[in-house]
Amino acid sequence: MDTFKKLKQFYWPYKKYFFTSLFFLFFVVSITIVYPIVLQLTIDEVVLKERYSLIPYIAAGFFFIMLIKGVSSFFHQYLGDLFGITVVYKLREALYEKLQVLSFKYYDNARTGDLMSRKTTDVEGFRNFISFGISDLIEISMLILLSLGVMFYYSIPLALITMAAMPFLAIVVYKFDKRVHPAFRGIRKSFGRLNTRVQENISGMNTVKSLSKEDFEVGRFSDSNDNYRQNYLFTSSIWAKYFPVMEFIGNASVVLLLAYGGFLVINDDLTLGTLVAFFSLVWYIMGPLMNLGFVINMFSQAKASGERILEILEAKEDVTEKDGAIDRSVAGHVTFKNVTLTYTEDDDKALKHVTFDAPPGKVIGLSGPTGSGKTSITQLIPRFYEPEKGEVLVDGRPVSDYQLKTLRRHIGFVLQESFLFSTTIRENIRYGNPEIPEEQIIDAAKRAQAHDFIMEMPDGYDTMLGERGMGLSGGQKQRIAIARAICINPSILVLDDATSAVDMETEFKIQKALKEVMKGRTTFIIAHRISSLKHADEILVLEDGEIVERGRHDDLVHHKGPYERIYNIQYQDREQIMDTAT
């Protein structure tokens, strides 16, 4: 019940729909109980006593209560649905909002397919129970209690016979619940894994095809698919085992009822009408009791789903804002003081005692072998991650003093693989600043050397892009990303290997675009090519998370350190190429 208590904030505000639906349910159930009573009266008072003139009145009365039942059913059903749909609407929104604030650390370990299945299937599982499960449970209880009431009123001994089977049925239903709940958790988990497989496969289709791993992927999918099937079959086997037992107990009790009831009628201790009424009433008890399995099933699913939803809602937000965090414009002075970063506890340190100062407008180059910590430095400035030790300052204040939005609004990223959304080019350019006027979008595209190729497209700025920017070349995507960065007018700019994935001609165009964007902004350039770092005000050379060398290009090339080695390798290559060319 803890799960439902924790999710109370989502359903309690809409309790009026639920309780009004219950109010109408009361009519529906009460009228259902009236059927056998009408049957008993018709047999005992009309047929057996041959008072046929009463039949039209009974028929009219029956018609009238049917009408009430119909109207009540409508409101019960509609309000129940309204309750469920409203609750999951709010739940889905809360989940989505939470997914937006969860930190990078969370996403490092999360799997997209699994998150998707939590957001869709689990939320639906919860809705089913909220919409129908609870009211089914109440309907079942009311039906059983009212039927028992009427039975005891008619004949206590016969009612006791019916009751005799109930403890056995209750035991079986209880055992069933104990087994079916973990089985449903298994199904949910396995469905999450299946989703992850499919999602990763589709996103990584390029890699799969280029490495001819289709068969391997089909094999992996079959494993997950088989696991899902096994889990479902296991649950089905539990159903298949328990359901006939429940039905047998129900039927045994009906046999007892018919035998003992028939005996009472023969001895004139019970009217025929009452026995017929009893026969209907006993099914009003046994049917719902067996149905309890379905409702418990729904409850188990909802509980399992609720737990998985709560795992997201309660996930720790590693990066949070302070009370009174500041919102003011940023000049772009970045300082690192003795910063150490560890991503996960048992991992090596990704950064060790990193110290540097980048005054506004300066260009900092970050060089070093892959995995040396270049990207990590730039991820600490917008607080994507928190340092383990040391301080990261922007304009002299710790980054944690700023509102996250303020801080991130002032930092522009152009990554090696920039993400473009499947919408128009215009929407992609103004994504970070949707209010920006059209002239400024065009101006940004011109400065990013993107305007010309955009205008050559059939729909210009209205050209729709495919998923992840499909339809554009790597260099074109990059220039759209640069235009996007210009639109947010950041004080700090991070260019992470922004030109590594393109040919020389495109690189030249991008370099030209970047020069334009860098004007007046503190810029961090991560690059493997010396040519991209040459003009930096300071180059930091990293190795294993430590700064091993620093200075301007002209000094570093004579330093006899790692930078000179990289320079020599890149220049030797050039000389060799020049030699072969001449």
Residue 370 is a binding residue for ligand ATP (CB under 6 A): yes
- CB closer to ligand ATP, 417 vs 537: 417
Residue 418 is a binding residue for ligand ATP (CB under 6 A): no
Minimum CB separation of residue 372 from ligand ATP in Å reads 4
Minimum CB separation of residue 373 from ligand ATP in Å reads 4
Stretch that binds ligand ATP, among 159-167, 198-206, 227-235, 344-352 (CB under 6 A): 344-352
Minimum CB separation of residue 371 from ligand ATP in Å reads 4
Minimum CB separation of residue 347 from ligand ATP in Å reads 6
Minimum CB separation of residue 7 from ligand ATP in Å reads 31
- Tell which positions 156-215 bind ligand ATP, by CB under 6 A: none
Strands 363-367, 538-543: pairing kind: parallel
Residue 376 is a binding residue for ligand ATP (CB under 6 A): yes
Strands 389-394, 397-398: pairing kind: antiparallel
- CB closer to ligand ATP, 72 vs 523: 523
Minimum CB separation of residue 374 from ligand ATP in Å reads 4
Strands 351-358, 334-341: pairing kind: antiparallel
> What is the end-to-end Cα distance of the chain in Å, rounded?
81
Measured in degrees and rounded to the nearest 5, phi and psi for residue 337 equal -120, 105
Distance CA 113, CA 188 (A): 12
- CB closer to ligand ATP, 113 vs 373: 373
Q: What is the DSSP string of 438-476?
A: HHHHHHHHHHTT-HHHHHHSTTGGGPBP-GGGTTS-HHH
Decide: residue 283, CB within 10 A, 0-12 exposed, 13-18 middle, 19+ buried. Answer: middle
**Residue from 7, 142, 161, 350 in contact with ligand ATP (CB under 6 A):** 350
- CB closer to ligand ATP, 108 vs 462: 108
Distance CA 93, CA 400 (A): 27
- CB closer to ligand ATP, 50 vs 347: 347
Minimum CB separation of residue 342 from ligand ATP in Å reads 9
- CB closer to ligand ATP, 103 vs 433: 103
Contact 494, 524 (CB under 8 A): yes
Stretch that binds ligand ATP, among 280-288, 323-331, 341-349, 438-446 (CB under 6 A): 341-349
Stretch that binds ligand ATP, among 49-57, 133-141, 227-235, 365-373 (CB under 6 A): 365-373
- Sorted by sequence, the CB contacts under 8 Å of residue 223 that are 6+ apart come out as none
Which amino acid belongs to residue 524? F
**Residue from 125, 306, 373, 469 in contact with ligand ATP (CB under 6 A):** 373
Q: What is the DSSP string of 46-62?
A: IITTT-GGGHHHHHHHH
- CB closer to ligand ATP, 249 vs 494: 494
- CB closer to ligand ATP, 389 vs 446: 389
Contact 340, 387 (CB under 8 A): yes
Of 409, 550, 229, 432, which Cα lies nearest the Cα of 441? Answer: 432
SS3 330: coil
β partners of residue 496:
526
Residue 318 is a binding residue for ligand ATP (CB under 6 A): no
Minimum CB separation of residue 340 from ligand ATP in Å reads 12
Stretch that binds ligand ATP, among 88-96, 191-199, 372-380, 466-474 (CB under 6 A): 372-380
Q: What is the DSSP string of 2-66?
A: HHHHHTHHHHGGGHHHHHHHHHHHHHHHHHHHHHHHHHHHIIIIIITTT-GGGHHHHHHHHHHHH
Minimum CB separation of residue 366 from ligand ATP in Å reads 8
Q: Binders of ligand ATP: how many residues, by CB under 6 A?
A: 13
**Residue from 221, 294, 343, 431 in contact with ligand ATP (CB under 6 A):** 343
Residue 375 is a binding residue for ligand ATP (CB under 6 A): yes
Burial 8-44 (b: 16+ CB within 10 A, else e): eebbeebeebbebbbebbebbbbbbbbbbbebbebbb
Burial 171-200 (b: 16+ CB within 10 A, else e): ebbeebbebbbebbbbbbbbbbbbbbbebb
Distance CA 445, CA 64 (A): 73
Contact 224, 194 (CB under 8 A): yes
- Tell which positions 75-114 bind ligand ATP, by CB under 6 A: 108
Minimum CB separation of residue 368 from ligand ATP in Å reads 6
Minimum CB separation of residue 341 from ligand ATP in Å reads 8
- CB closer to ligand ATP, 276 vs 540: 540
Stretch that binds ligand ATP, among 9-17, 50-58, 330-338, 363-371 (CB under 6 A): 363-371
For 96-104, the CB contacts below 8 A with 24+ separation are: 98/312, 98/313, 98/315, 99/312, 101/317, 102/312, 102/315, 102/317, 103/317, 103/318, 103/319, 103/384, 103/385, 104/379, 104/384, 104/385
x/- mask, ligand ATP, residues 3-42, rule CB under 6 A, reads ----------------------------------------
Write out the two tokens for 558: 């004579």
Strands 363-367, 522-526: pairing kind: parallel
- 480: number of Cβ within 10 Å: 25
- CB closer to ligand ATP, 169 vs 358: 358
Minimum CB separation of residue 500 from ligand ATP in Å reads 9
Stretch that binds ligand ATP, among 67-75, 252-260, 367-375, 511-519 (CB under 6 A): 367-375
Residues lying near ligand ATP in the complex (CB under 6 A)? 108, 343-344, 347, 350, 368, 370-376
